[in-house]
Structure 1
Amino acid sequence: MDTQVADTLLGSLLDGRYRIRGRVARGGMATVYTATDERLERTVAVKIIHPTQAPEARARLAGFVERFTDEAKTIARLTHPNVVAVYDQGTHAGLPYLVMEYVRGRTLRDVLTERRRLDPDEALAIAEQMLAAIAAAHRAGLVHRDVKPENVLVAEAPTGSPANLVDSVVKVADFGLARAVEASADEENGNQLMATVAYVAPELVTEGRADPRTDVYSAGIVLFEMLTGRVPYDGDRPVEVAWQHVDRDVPAPSTLVPTLPTTLDDLVGRATRRDPGARPTDAGALLAEVQQVRDDLGNANSHTAVLRRVENETALAQPTMVVAAVRPTERPPWARLPEAGGPRPHRRRAADPEGESLGARLAALRTRVMGSPRGRLAVAAAAVVLGLVAALGGWWFGVGRYTVAPQLVSMTRAEAEAQAARGGFTLKYADARYDEKVPKDSVLGQDPASAARILKGGTITLTLSLGPEQLPVPDVVGQDFELARTQLTDAKLVPVKGPSRYDDQLPAGVVLATDPKVGTVVRPGAKVTLVLSKGRAPVTVPNLVGKNVNEARGILAGLGLKPVESYKDSDKPKDEVLGQSPADGAGVEKGAEVKLELSKGPAQVVVPRVVDMPCQQAKQVLESQGFPVNIQLNPNGVARFQNPGENTPVPPGTPVTVTCL
């Protein structure tokens, strides 16, 4: 009786947010579930690492979780339409998990299980999108390390036809996950090879190292499997399969599927060279070759296709495979070969059930053709022509259509565009980056690199410099010091607490001003001094306007403040306070200065002479100039005396006494 153990995670809520709804797949390292993000109300995929029962592994789990978290942060920054996006990461019951984009579709493994192998146009279409995703990772400094059909998701084509894979959307998953698990395995198992042996690159077997060319090799094996329906090597034990990648060249796909064009043999062969230096430098370089092969196959004429099929069918009778005895003298203990002299199992290709009838037909054709001199001459001419075509074609596809990328780094954008135009190259631009040394709009980097192989007229991707990064000082005036410090730190600036001063408006501890001022452009890491408020000052300035200077002095002295006096012309009485600073109601410290603006008094006028004038005439003259007049003795007499006397300067409105006799 079969017993199925219930999955305890189903229905669980991770981190109070992700509700597990169903299990999608279970692999060697992790299980994938569908879940509902209850915060954003969307369906996501949750990949959670399997628990382990080994006590020593549980003891090292904390270190693995830390590495897994670091990898998740790196992967989350990788944004590309052909990469399965990573939204979140965390731990549940001590096990790390990733929250990823949910892709509605199947893995490439499911497709190959159903279809066995794909047509060349379908295989190249899937490979193109797969390599575009891996190339984006390589540009970001990531190496996948585990490229295989299980990590390639094929979503339904936009046309809605599941049978048409050419227009399907392909996404690659598990970037960086293999490296985190491998680092953990290194500690626990002594450098165990953590890779799928059917797709492992030779240098990963012999030296345990991986770089972008390692992913290129694995992608070439995936392309081989899509074209032929099988992987190139198998064996009873994984280590035997791994070492076949080291010891043998990958066979041409057309030895298994005779109808395949030789351009695909060349493409797979270049991608799966045992020497990493002989492969394309990264996934971007291989992507360019795949795109060129797609174009070439699309433009091939029917005659060439038929001729190639006949040649491959003829070669099928005697398939060959190049075997090179390349083996290091010392191999790591984690990748031992079978015992010396032991057999190495390998898969033999099934015989063609129609081989005899095809051979008979070819033999009859050969007898008829070679039976006449003209036939023999035609065969010789055809052989020469085919040899020339094959040689020229091999030279063109292998060497002739390639050139080397020019050196564009450190040039200005205009110079790089001119140089690329002279070489017939097309330029694309990646996201620009800040750089402290390279001026703005100069080339920081290029892909492919200078002197690397590139198709003639191919595309070079340039990364331009934004120059030294410059930041405006954010407006933190009016904020609490801790909040202002956090905002400045987040803006890549260094906050420094400066002097404090009293302020009537802002409470103590609040930022009054910055130095440099808000909005000033500075470099990252620049210091910004924060001037803080001490709150309202203890002494309130009284209202002194309109008071006599002596009274104002007394009031200020009583408050412990110092008057600073200045005079100005005014119609107000002399020594009257006209203005003050600070204004009344302002807060100041004891001993602070209060500026007083005092009146010099009205401008003086000169008393005119009225002596010897008739008394009434003298009165009219004085009153016309604004003087009040006081007549004494005889109003109808003649003015004999005046006080103030003639030409005496007096304030306007001063009374003048006139004595008349």
Structure 2
Amino acid sequence: MDTTVADTLIGTTIDGRYRITGRVARGGMATVYRATDERLERTVALKIIHPAQATNVHFVDRFTDEAKTIARLAHPNVVAVYDQGRHQGLPYLVMEFVQGKTLRELLSQRNRLTPVEALAIMEQMLAAIAAAHRAGLVHRDVKPENVLVAEAPSGGSADLVDAVVKVADFGLARAIEASTVDDSGQLMATVAYVAPELVQTGQADARTDVYSAGVVLFEMLTGKVPYDGNEPIEVAWQHVDNDVPPPSRFVPGTPQVMDNLVTRATRRDPSARPTDAGGLLSEVQSARDGIGVSHVETALLRQVPPGPRSADATRLVPAVPANDATALVPPVPAGTAYQASHRPNWARLPEQGGRAPSQPHRRSAAPPPGAAGFFGDRRRVMLTALVAVMALVILGSTWWVTLGRYTEAPRLLTMSQDAAKTAAEAQGFTLYVADGVYSDQVAKGSVVTQNPGPAEKIIKGDPITVNLSLGPEVHPVPQLEGQELAFSKATLEGLKLKVKQGKAVYSDTAPAGVVVSTDPKAGTELKPGETVTLVLSKGKPPITVPDVVGKNINEARQLLGQAGLSAAEEYEESTKPADEVLSQTPKAGTGAEKSTQVTLKVSKGPQQITLPDVTNQRCQDAAAQLQQQGLQVQLNGDQNQTARQMNPPPGSQVPPGSTVQLVCFL
């Protein structure tokens, strides 16, 4: 990760409570940060809306109202919302921080999942969406990127069957009755998962989410989405024109029940789908009950170490039939007590509760005559052994969950990036480098903060995130000319600079209220806390400067005086007639305040030449001397004689190019 570009929010504390420690992701409408709730001392996710969205009043109101609704859902498979507020005018949410991966990341690593894994994730995902549907919300953007897979409760991060799944990004949902077209007219859904009715009518209800969930199930089973194309609109219309194919077409051997689930959920006619996520959840649970017990062991069985078996050891489970050598436990018929009671609490429908359905009491078969004592002793021995094993498993699991899997994080502060990476990897940890923070105390490129901190508890092998120092914090003054005052203040305050408003000035180019200039100028580097003065425009000045160029100075003075302006004159030599105005500042047509001084450049007239005395010289020589000074010469009389008279006479001042007459005779 490039640490040379800093996010100005990292290291800041929002509302005196949430200290931002790193950036998690940046989307089209918001940026998600990792933060520490310093009041409750817990890690949270802080989602801040982008400035472009904050100007949309309807979007902000809808976002706030739905955040309140989601906060009331209180469902274990929905990313919890803890708090909301505004920072520098931008709405934000404080949410549960889920340590894990998105379903998209898992699919990128695994390509596709087994049917049992796909059903386990689907079950929790639908439980979350069903809770939203009951509250009157439609997600409208169900896709792997919005499904978070946290570490399994049993501690096995690779065990997707026992992993905890949470659905995120309900923040852009609307009430069921609302339209699904945003203000720009674009569908607010990803085209790979979009339902046909969204493409055709732009309307969505709970069945729209059912369709998208069906496409997600298809992708989990096959490792691909059903449709692809060069343009998004091309992909979208394939959902309208075609039925989603069964997964078994791409992955032979996929159970028929999985094909049926995908087909049911992705019917092009919404009325042919389950009415909401709760309806599809019931079908998924039935499918999982039929598949799960014959293909997967429970987490408890995996924790019990296998014991030695002798040829005559008593079996605790029925023998595996010869024609089904791969089965670990005989299939349990649908509807038995085993299915509901062995499903995790988070995956049960509300009406299932935590108690298995009651079963009729059946009398046990009596033991053979003469064998009661023998088998009774064996039962007591086996029961005692089983209780002892279970006690050891429980004690061992408790120790592992609370103490055994934890160690202390190494101290990486002030180390260089390479040294920190070496130290972390030497103890089995992976080092992640965040965006970086400014620091006046820590050298540039060295570790400023780490999470978890030195000596804090950490699971063995977990990642450690560090922020490297960007050196002392300095910010160049941004280019703000032409910007509104509110935007300019927010920009400078975002850079931790103080703002001062200077005296406003008139401007012919800048509308009233916008920034004309800054002091210091744009590009000047300042430290946090230093002050930038903003000079604002008062708009165009009230007086229009008249055009006096080409006029005599006396007329020019009169025109300027009538307009309420004054004249300042600067004379210079020119070929123009004397006292003619050559130029003016400000120019004609621009605005000026009353009594503003207009500078006029005025002609002195052409440059004068003083005639030399060329009399008593040979006429041709006298003419050549005058011509060298830029004068015209007219000879009267014999040119070979002596110049006896000049007109104008010697010593006179004439303009360049004037004609001088010479009279020549003996």
> TM-score if structure 2 supplies the norm length?
0.43
> TM-score if structure 1 supplies the norm length?
0.43
Between 1 and 2, higher relative CO (CA 8 Å, sep ≥ 6) is seen in: 2
Higher-Rg structure is 1
